[in-house]
Amino acid sequence: MSREDAQMKIRLPADLRDAIVASADAAKRSLNAEIVARLESSFEFEALGPAQLEVLDEVIRKLDRLEERLAPQETGAVAAALAQKPEKKSTLGKLPKLKT
């Protein structure tokens, strides 16, 4: 990144800022680089095509089945975590194609 890149001020809740700082420290990145990396990865996820999303869904289903077999008493935690997962909004027609 260079000084010519766009700059902007944003407000963040203190706990979110703390989480970003901790993540940046763990990745040995600047706060700015961590924010940019996280934003870029969120757009890459949105750009996944239907076939790629189906593969991810199948992996999640298999992991759920595996966890059920390995630790039946702990499956409630997985269900709760999945229930908190935000719903996917279909924006696939508007997003750029992934580079292969």
pLDDT at 57: 87
Query: CA-CA distance, 56 to 73, in Å (whole number)?
Result: 25
In the chain, the amino acid numbered 5 is: D
pTM of the predicted structure, to 2 decimals: 0.49
Cβ contacts of residue 32 below 8 Å, gap of 6+? 1
Q: What is the mean pLDDT of each run of 10 residues along the chain (100 residues)?
A: 83 93 94 93 81 87 87 64 60 52
- pLDDT for res 53: 82
What is the per-residue pLDDT for 31?
93
Residue in this structure with the two tokens 């989480």, named with its chain if needed? 19
C-alpha torsion angle, residues 21, 26, 28, 32 (rounded to 10): -30
